[in-house]
Amino acid sequence: MKDTLKKILAKGGPFIGLILVIGLFSIPAETREFFLTYNNFKIIFTQTVIVAIGALGMTLIIVSGGIDLSVGSTIALTSVVGALLIQHGWGPAPVLLVMIASGGLIGLLNGSAIAGLRMTPFIITLGTLGVARGTAKWMADNQTVNYDTSPINGWMTTADPFSHALPAGVWVAIVLAILTALLLRNTVFGRHIFALGSNEATARLCGIPTTRLKITIYALAGCFFGLAGLFQLSRLRQGDPTVAVGLELDIIAAVIIGGASLNGGVGTVLGSMIGALIMSVLRNGSQQMGWPTYFQEIIIGLVIIVAVFLDRLRQGKAAA
Amino acid sequence: MSAVRLRLTGIQKSFGATRALKSVSLDIAPGEVHALIGENGAGKSTLMKILSGAHEADAGTMELSDIPYLPENPHDARLKGVAMIYQELNLALHLSAQENILLGAESTKLGWVDRRASRERARAALAQLGHADLDLDRRAGEFSIAEQQVIEIARALLIQPQVLIMDEPTSSLTQADTEKLFATIGRLRSSGVSVIYISHFLEECRRIADRYTVLKDGETVGSGKMKDATLDHIVTLMTGREVKDLYPRTAHAPGQVVLEVKTGASAPRLKRATLQVRAGEIFGLAGLIGAGRTDLLRTIFGLDALDAGEVCILDATAHSSRPRDRWAQGVGFLSENRKEEGLMLNQSIADNLTLTKMNAYGRFGWINGGKQRATAQRWVGELRVKCLNAGQTIGQLSGGNQQKVALARLLEHPARIFLLDEPTRGIDVGSKAQIYQLVSELAAAGKAVVVVSSYLPELLGLCDTVGVMCRGELAAVRPRTEWDEASIMRVATGSA
């Protein structure tokens, strides 16, 4: 009995957390009516898209034992790039590709610097955080980049706001999550990411090309961040070089709440997605309760600490 | 003043089921340099940890100048008059020499550091060592290793110790610096400090020590005046144990040379090694810790850069030497350090076992998990690895079972040249016997095996050929029949 309980906790820790926060907001009289409705969850899902897609890339990086602090800036930069291209009359497909590629390019630079110069990811990406943000402001001439209209604007909403259909962005996030989960679990590339994060010395000893692998991981994650920039653009309908400041912290928090370890070698896509949802539900619920935003920030901060603490307790028990 | 500065009687210490110290007795006079001698694992480190307060003895008594000596921790031991200089120096490299010497014992005036008094005390300590001219304002990291050691000894002298323990102080010193250290020790002796000198190098012990004590398997097996003892006598005391019949000797006939190293060198430790290993041969590498055995294996495998000389894997198609290429050439490496290098402790047995060739378990980069697990499960059965199944996290297994999985990685790859670094370190006797059997069968099947081990009976029982390393050089390579433990120890300790 105790063992089964432990197993449930071990496998479904983040999931239980999600049910808890949903339950929390379903009880009070202020939110009971609207909170547990399909339409509210449609809103929650839509609000989660950007963090969720970012968290997919971040999961790859964190499982490999790295970290990327430049995500918020990357998202801002790619959204500016996209807006400028739309201004120049580009269609949605080439804009999409160029935005993903620019995210990938920043990741490639991050990965090359980390693997090539053998510097810690924290320092390198702290540097690119500034470089990408500055470049975004430079390209945008320090103001928002506006354009008339683009089909991209419709990817985060549905034509009829009361229809039961989900916006394209939600579907993209779901499909990518499934693909990334398969990539991590069932491909040689994915197992090598776990090997790198679990013990880089072992990976090297076993002949895994660790330098190339690291560069690939950061570049691929960068593509995800570029795509997150696309949905940021879609949501704002303008390129804003000052958007998504500090978003990397939300994304990292989602991955960590989802059970990944900053030491590398541990983490799942499903966990990260649930982690992203937990934060969206907390935000959404707090708003409906009429709590001020500073109160939401305090709660989310505490949730991160509690989640990681519980995770450590759980792992400590498992190891004993 | 008492005639005995430090006296230990019947010291015992166990860690779980392992009895590290069975019965150790030792006495040291004031102003005496006392050599503590023993093989790797004889219990020297445990004894030093008890003396310096890091561990508490289970039984036995310690007296310092006729007063019971019961250090609560290393700081307390220092205050009571027992200071220790570790093999790995403990300096704050970014602080100045003076700050390092006075660390934790700064002269103060109303809570402020009194710079003048501090400087005088540091200067006095250095003068006692004959290094009054050392620049006190330079950062510790800018000094040579030998000078750093002087700084560390000066720090120990600041609290006027009665006993100074030095663990392998010459292991990273040049010959000239060793001479200077001996002069320093001579000064300490004449100022009445007792020195416990731990070293693998018997010649050094003979030169510097007044008396010696030999430890073997956690017991004092002999002590006396250094000038009355021959090296042979000491070596016999160190190694005098029976070779048990753990070692199966399957018939194997060495064939063609498959691995050759020509005057290989790799900074900092490997100076010069030349060897040939044949198919079907078990080649043992003996030597003391730090003699360069591991460095030699790592250099062969491409984990450390080869600075000079040549490593040839014969009849290999590629000549590149990264670990990745070595695996492709059929060379496998077993790390001495399971936890930090050999295994991914939080991953499954199956992932650990198949990490070198994951592409083989599927197509187009997708892994057929069933096939991968079935392969791992087969090895688990064959090597009798105790586990739930091949999907279990490897960190949950015992050391012996982890080691079997680490070896199975080489078998599954499959390797034809096995580089095994301390393959039986820290594992139970049952697993040891099984690994000996396995290695013997590999040789019988025509594989080449290189084994590094600190346990001499193992090398003598298992190998066809044994090479002995000393201070970074492969000093002698001979057939096993021409070696015994004493002759290996003599070469390893540089006293042959």
pLDDT digits (tens, 9 = 90+) for A124-174: 999 999 999 999 999 999 999 999 888 988 898 887 777 888 999 999 999
**Nearest CB to B367; choose among A186, A209, A319:** A186
Identify which of A213-227, B230-244, B397-411 has the greatest average pLDDT: A213-227
pLDDT higher than 90, residue B108: no
pLDDT (0 to 100) of residue B243: 41
- The residue whose two tokens read 């009359």 is A89
Per residue in A60-117, pLDDT tens?
Answer: 999 999 999 999 999 999 999 999 999 999 999 999 999 999 999 999 999 999 999 9
pLDDT (0 to 100) of residue B33: 95
pLDDT higher than 80, residue A9: no
Identify which of A89-103, A283-297, A303-317, B59-73 has the greatest average pLDDT: A89-103
Q: Say if CB B334 and CB B353 are below 8 A apart.
A: no
pLDDT higher than 80, residue A252: yes
- A320 reaches B (C-beta below 8 A): no
* Bridging pattern class, strands B331-334 and B417-421: parallel
Count of the separate structural domains present in chain B: 2
Residue A203, min C-alpha distance to chain B (Å) = 8
Q: Which of B176, B206, B239 is the last residue of a domain?
A: B239
Percent of chain A with pLDDT over 70: 94
**Residue B404 vs residue B160, higher pLDDT:** B404
pLDDT (0 to 100) of residue B319: 67
Amino acid B321 reads S
Q: Please give the distance of CA A291 from its chain centroid, rounded to a whole number.
A: 25
**Nearest CB to B358; choose among A191, A209, A319:** A191
Output the DSSP codes for A18-58: HHHHHHHHHSSHHHHHHHTSHHHHHHHHHHHHHHHHHHHHH
* Bridging pattern class, strands B270-278 and B282-287: unpaired
- Give a yes or no: residue B464 inside a domain: yes
User: pLDDT band at A319, cuts 50/70/90?
Assistant: very low
* Contact list, A202 vs chain B (CB under 8 Å): 341-344, 352, 355
What average pLDDT score do residues A230-252 get? Answer: 94
**Nearest CB to A187; choose among B342, B366, B396:** B366
Contact between chains at B344 and A202 (C-beta distance less than 8 A): yes
Assess whether B106 and B168 both reside in one domain. Answer: yes
Assess whether B372 and B299 both reside in one domain. Answer: yes
Assess whether B283 and B232 both reside in one domain. Answer: no
Q: Which of B188, B206, B239 is the last residue of a domain?
A: B239
**Residue B16 vs residue B91, higher pLDDT:** B91
Give the range of the structural domain holding residue B122, as residue numbers without chain letter.
6-239
pLDDT (0 to 100) of residue A159: 76
**Nearest CB to B367; choose among A188, A209, A266:** A188
What is the pTM for the complete model shown?
Answer: 0.79
Of A165-179, A300-314, B284-298, where does mean pLDDT reach its minimum?
Answer: A300-314
Of A3-12, A31-40, B281-290, B440-449, where does mean pLDDT reach its minimum?
Answer: A3-12
**Residue A9 vs residue B146, higher pLDDT:** B146
Residue B478, min C-alpha distance to chain A (Å) = 30
- Give a yes or no: residue B452 inside a domain: yes
What average pLDDT score do residues B53-58 get? Answer: 90
Per residue in B321-357, pLDDT tens?
Answer: 899 999 999 999 999 988 889 999 999 999 999 999 9
Burial of residue A263 (number of CB atoms within 10 Å: 0-12, 13-18, 19+): exposed
Residue A195, min C-alpha distance to chain B (Å) = 7
Contact between chains at B323 and A205 (C-beta distance less than 8 A): yes
Assess whether B463 and B319 both reside in one domain. Answer: yes
Of A90-94, A287-291, B85-89, where does mean pLDDT reach its minimum?
Answer: B85-89
Percent of chain B with pLDDT over 70: 96
Assess whether B232 and B323 both reside in one domain. Answer: no
Assess whether B281 and B193 both reside in one domain. Answer: no
DSSP reduced 3-state for A145: strand
Alpha helices in chain A (DSSP H): 2-26, 29-35, 38-63, 71-87, 92-116, 121-139, 168-186, 188-198, 200-205, 210-236, 247-257, 269-289, 293-319
pLDDT higher than 70, residue A3: no
Q: What size, in residues, is chain B?
A: 496
- B240 reaches A (C-beta below 8 A): no
DSSP reduced 3-state for A239: strand
Q: Say if CB B435 and CB B407 are below 8 A apart.
A: yes
* Contact list, B359 vs chain A (CB under 8 Å): 188
The token pair at B94 is 């970014």
**Residue A161 vs residue B214, higher pLDDT:** B214
- Give a yes or no: residue B247 inside a domain: no
Mean pLDDT of chain B: 88
pLDDT (0 to 100) of residue B430: 73
Could you give the domains of chain A? Answer: 14-319 (1.10.3470)
pLDDT higher than 70, residue B106: yes
Of A176-185, B239-248, B297-306, B411-420, where does mean pLDDT reach its minimum?
Answer: B239-248
> If DSSP states are collapsed to H, E and C, what string results for chain B?
CCCCCEEEEEEEEEECCEEEEEEEEEEECCCCEEEEECCCCCCHHHHHHHHCCCCCCCEEEEEECCEECCCCCHHHHHHHCEEEECCCCCCCCCCEHHHHHCCCCCCEECCEECHHHHHHHHHHHHHHCCCCCCCCCCEHHHCCHHHHHHHHHHHHHCCCCCEEEEECCCCCCCHHHHHHHHHHHHHHHHCCCEEEEECCCHHHHHHHCCEEEEEECCEEEEEEEHHHCCHHHHHHHHHCCCCCCCCCCCCCCCCCEEEEEEEEEECCCEEEEEEEEECCCEEEEEECCCCCHHHHHHHHHCCCCCCEEEEEECCCCCCCCCHHHHHHCCEEEECCCHHHHHCCCCCEHHHHHHHHHHHHHEECCEECHHHHHHHHHHHHHHCCCCCCCCCCEHHHCCHHHHHHHHHHHHHHCCCCEEEEECCCCCCCHHHHHHHHHHHHHHHHCCCEEEEECCCHHHHHHHCCEEEEEECCEEEEEEEHHHCCHHHHHHHHCCCC
Contact between chains at B326 and A209 (C-beta distance less than 8 A): no
Assess whether B166 and B278 both reside in one domain. Answer: no
Identify which of A21-30, A285-294, B57-66, B421-430 has the greatest average pLDDT: B57-66
Assess whether B173 and B292 both reside in one domain. Answer: no
Contact between chains at B344 and A198 (C-beta distance less than 8 A): yes
- The residue whose two tokens read 């936890």 is B339
* Contact list, A319 vs chain B (CB under 8 Å): 395-396
DSSP reduced 3-state for A247: helix
Contact between chains at A187 and B344 (C-beta distance less than 8 A): no
User: pLDDT band at B171, cuts 50/70/90?
Assistant: confident
pLDDT (0 to 100) of residue B242: 44
Contact between chains at B367 and A204 (C-beta distance less than 8 A): no
ipTM exceeding cut-off 0.85 for this assembly: no
* Contact list, A205 vs chain B (CB under 8 Å): 301, 303, 323, 333, 335, 341-342
**Residue A281 vs residue B432, higher pLDDT:** A281
| Spatial separation of the C-alpha atoms in residues B442 and B371, rounded to whole Å | 25
Contact between chains at A199 and B333 (C-beta distance less than 8 A): no
Burial of residue B290 (number of CB atoms within 10 Å: 0-12, 13-18, 19+): middle
What average pLDDT score do residues B434-441 get? Answer: 91
User: pLDDT band at B496, cuts 50/70/90?
Assistant: low
Assess whether B222 and B303 both reside in one domain. Answer: no
**Nearest CB to B341; choose among A187, A191, A202:** A202
* Count of CB pairs separated by less than 8 Å, A with B: 76
| Spatial separation of the C-alpha atoms in residues B122 and B101, rounded to whole Å | 6
Assess whether B42 and B109 both reside in one domain. Answer: yes
What average pLDDT score do residues B254-283 get? Answer: 92
What average pLDDT score do residues B127-140 get? Answer: 87
Burial of residue A94 (number of CB atoms within 10 Å: 0-12, 13-18, 19+): exposed
Contact between chains at B346 and A266 (C-beta distance less than 8 A): yes
Assess whether B191 and B277 both reside in one domain. Answer: no
Could you tell me which of A42, A16, A152, A48 has the C-alpha nearest to residue A90?
A: A152
The token pair at B319 is 């000549």
| Spatial separation of the C-alpha atoms in residues A180 and B304, rounded to whole Å | 35
Q: Please give the distance of CA B263 from its chain centroid, rounded to a whole number.
A: 24
- Give a yes or no: residue B245 inside a domain: no
Q: Is the dihedral angle over the CA atoms A105, A111, A115, A119 positive or is it negative?
A: positive
Q: Which of B207, B239, B271 is the last residue of a domain?
A: B239
pLDDT (0 to 100) of residue B200: 76
CA separation (Å) from B137 to A47, B108, B113, B123, B143?
A: 59, 19, 15, 12, 11
| Spatial separation of the C-alpha atoms in residues B158 and A90, rounded to whole Å | 76
**Nearest CB to A265; choose among B324, B335, B344:** B344
Contact between chains at B346 and A198 (C-beta distance less than 8 A): yes
Give me the CATH number covering residue B96: 3.40.50.300
- Give a yes or no: residue B313 inside a domain: yes
What average pLDDT score do residues B454-474 get? Answer: 90
- Give a yes or no: residue B73 inside a domain: yes
pLDDT (0 to 100) of residue A293: 86
- Give a yes or no: residue B1 inside a domain: no
| Spatial separation of the C-alpha atoms in residues B471 and A111, rounded to whole Å | 40
* Contact list, A188 vs chain B (CB under 8 Å): 358-359, 362, 365-367
- Give a yes or no: residue B250 inside a domain: no
Rounded to the nearest 10 degrees, the angle between the axes of helix B145-157 and helix B115-128 is 110
**Nearest CB to A188; choose among B322, B341, B365:** B365
Contact between chains at B358 and A203 (C-beta distance less than 8 A): no
Mutate to test the interface with A, among B320, B326, B339, B344 (most CBs of A within 10 A): B344
Assess whether B170 and B286 both reside in one domain. Answer: no
pLDDT higher than 60, residue B446: yes
What average pLDDT score do residues A205-218 get? Answer: 95
User: pLDDT band at A316, cuts 50/70/90?
Assistant: low
Could you tell me which of A106, A59, A55 has the C-alpha nearest to residue A80?
A: A106
- A208 reaches B (C-beta below 8 A): yes
* Contact list, B365 vs chain A (CB under 8 Å): 187-189
Contact between chains at B340 and A201 (C-beta distance less than 8 A): yes
- A187 reaches B (C-beta below 8 A): yes
Per residue in B134-154, pLDDT tens?
Answer: 899 999 888 888 888 889 888
